């Protein structure tokens, strides 16, 4: 048995799944809540009433906690952001062993100031994108060793964008990845490069 086969047997890979329309509606509502939370300025009474409503929903969902790998959030490939509210609502439009292309847009929730996407959101996106390149390439579970981003232009919100990530080089356990994000006119908004290292059997 090869080292790669040993590794795959040691670590159960997260299996993708499809989110139901009901889950899709819930995640869409969560994203809307995130956008509203950072843009609303209600009075104290409405803050209080809203908190009570959200706490009630949390209490109901708390009864249905599931372990990692069972809960669908982050695994639902048919939903924006794979059904995870932390991830920007982008979706894969093309995927192969060498390259993964995604399309989507950022929203008010992702603003750092002046309707520009927060600089910290961009590395989060690329880290997620690089992980999908690892999976598409059929590589074993890996961790990010480094991630470097060059900001070329301000990244806008509510504008359709595209990101392409591809394998730059492979050296044993090391997978070097590059990526670019562009707008509809082809302007490069940012570029990234990173190193993904295959986990050893004893590494979490």
Within 13 A of 74's CA, how many CA atoms are on the CB side? 12
CA distance 159 to 12: 37
Asked if residue 89 is part of any domain, the answer here is yes
Check whether 203 has a pLDDT greater than 80: no
Tell me, what's the pLDDT at 160? 97
Asked if residue 127 is part of any domain, the answer here is yes
pLDDT digits (tens, 9 = 90+) for 25-61: 999 999 999 999 999 999 999 999 999 999 999 999 9
Residue with tokens 């986990």, as numbered in its chain: 199
Asked if residue 162 is part of any domain, the answer here is yes
The DSSP letter of residue 200 is: P
Asked if residue 203 is part of any domain, the answer here is no
Q: Give the pLDDT mean for 125-132.
A: 96
Pairing label, strands 188-198, 116-117: unpaired
Q: Using alpha carbons, select from 163, 32, 146 the residue that is nearest to residue 40.
A: 32
CA distance readout (Å), 150 to 100, 105, 160, 191: 19, 19, 20, 5
Torsion of CA 177, 181, 184, 185, to 10 degrees: -90
User: DSSP alpha helices (H): ranges in the chain?
Assistant: 3-10, 21-37, 44-62, 121-136
Determine what percent of the chain is predicted with pLDDT higher than 90.
86
pLDDT digits (tens, 9 = 90+) for 91-113: 999 999 999 999 999 999 999 99
Domain carrying residue 187: 3-198
Residue 110's CATH number: 3.10.129.10
Tell me, what's the pLDDT at 10? 38
Asked if residue 204 is part of any domain, the answer here is no
Domain tally, the chain: 1
Q: Give the pLDDT mean for 79-102.
A: 95
Asked if residue 80 is part of any domain, the answer here is yes
| Three-state DSSP class for residue 83 | helix
The answer to whether the beta carbons of residues 131 and 94 sit under 8 Å apart is no
Torsion of CA 80, 81, 82, 86, to 10 degrees: -140
Q: What is the mean pLDDT of the chain?
A: 91
With residue 194 as reference, give the H or E element that holds it.
strand 188-198
Q: Using alpha carbons, select from 112, 115, 122, 100 the residue that is nearest to residue 177.
A: 100
Tell me, what's the pLDDT at 139? 87
Residue with tokens 């372990």, as numbered in its chain: 67
pLDDT digits (tens, 9 = 90+) for 153-186: 999 999 999 999 999 999 999 999 999 999 999 9
């Amino acid at each position: 048995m090869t080292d790669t086969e040993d590794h795959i047997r040691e670590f159960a890979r997260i299996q993708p799944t499809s989110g139901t329309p009901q889950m899709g509606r819930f995640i869409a509502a969560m994203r809307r809540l995130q956008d509203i939370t950072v843009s609303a300025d209600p009075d104290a009474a409405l803050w209080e009433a809203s908190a009570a409503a959200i706490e009630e929903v949390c209490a109901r969902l708390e009864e249905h906690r599931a372990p990692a790998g069972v809960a669908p959030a982050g695994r639902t490939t048919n939903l924006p952001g794979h059904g995870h509210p932390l991830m920007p609502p982008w979706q894969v439009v093309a995927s192969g062993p060498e390259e993964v292309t995604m399309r989507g847009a950022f929203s008010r929730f992702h603003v750092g100031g002046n309707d520009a996407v927060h600089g910290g959101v961009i590395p989060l996106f690329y880290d997620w994108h690089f992980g999908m390149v690892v999976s598409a390439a059929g590589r074993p579970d890996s961790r990010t060793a480094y991630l470097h981003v060059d900001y070329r232009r301000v990244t806008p919100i509510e504008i359709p964008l595209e990101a392409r990530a591809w394998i730059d080089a492979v050296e044993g356990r090391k997978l070097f990845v590059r990526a670019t994000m562009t707008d509809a006119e082809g302007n490069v908004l940012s570029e990234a490069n990173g190193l993904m290292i295959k986990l050893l059997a004893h590494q979490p």
